């Protein structure tokens, strides 16, 4: 497999589900449900990298989510280990993910990010609705 996923951006995207300043209800319930799965012990985590929502997988600009890299300990991420072996990322990208230091405040766990995210999922506030509109304009493939 060729290398397809880049390291995280210097800072998470403006609508990162891990960001404490991101409005609640921006993403769908399925997306928020994925966040706490990476809090589990390594053997019980998803095998798939958590990519940034700015670019679709397969896009040459696709990268690992900065919030995911900043929230979770890369030394204990099953997906990170498997991605190197599968050739999805380089060893250098894996090291960049492990060493990533996030410049914005993140929730301390995927579970806490998910609780915040779903709080207004059925009725996002004005900031959340604006965020959803911006995301839809940028990523027509997301519903």
Sketch the domain layout of the chain as residue ranges: 29-138
If one counts every other C-beta atom within 10 angstroms of the C-beta of residue 18, the result is 29
Does the reported pTM lie above 0.85?
Answer: yes
Three-class secondary structure of residue 106 per DSSP: strand
Q: Which two three-digit tokens encode residue 105?
A: 């405040």
Q: pLDDT tens digits, the chain, 143 residues: what are they? A: 455 799 999 999 999 999 999 999 999 999 999 999 999 999 999 999 999 988 777 788 889 999 999 999 999 999 999 999 999 999 999 999 999 999 999 999 999 999 999 999 999 999 999 999 988 887 776 65
Torsions phi, psi of 8, nearest 5? -65, 150
Distance (Å, rounded) from C-alpha 81 to C-alpha 84? 6
| Cα torsion angle, 56, 35, 73, 16, sign | positive
- Cβ proximity of 135 and 26 under 8 Å: yes
Distance (Å, rounded) from C-alpha 84 to C-alpha 116? 31
């Amino acid at each position: 497999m060729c290398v397809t996923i880049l390291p995280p951006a210097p800072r998470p995207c403006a609508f990162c589900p891990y960001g404490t300043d991101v409005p609640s209800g921006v993403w769908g319930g399925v997306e928020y449900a994925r966040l706490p799965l990476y809090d589990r012990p390594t053997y019980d985590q998803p095998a798939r990298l958590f990519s940034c929502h700015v670019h679709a997988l397969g896009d040459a600009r696709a990268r690992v989510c900065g919030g995911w890299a900043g929230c979770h300990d890369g030394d204990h991420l099953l997906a990170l280990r498997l991605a190197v072996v599968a050739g999805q990322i380089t060893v250098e990208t894996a090291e960049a993910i492990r060493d990533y230091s996030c410049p914005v405040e993140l929730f301390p766990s995927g579970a806490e990010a998910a609780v915040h995210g779903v709080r207004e999922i059925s009725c996002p506030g004005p900031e959340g609705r604006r965020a959803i509109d911006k995301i839809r304009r940028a990523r027509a493939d997301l519903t």
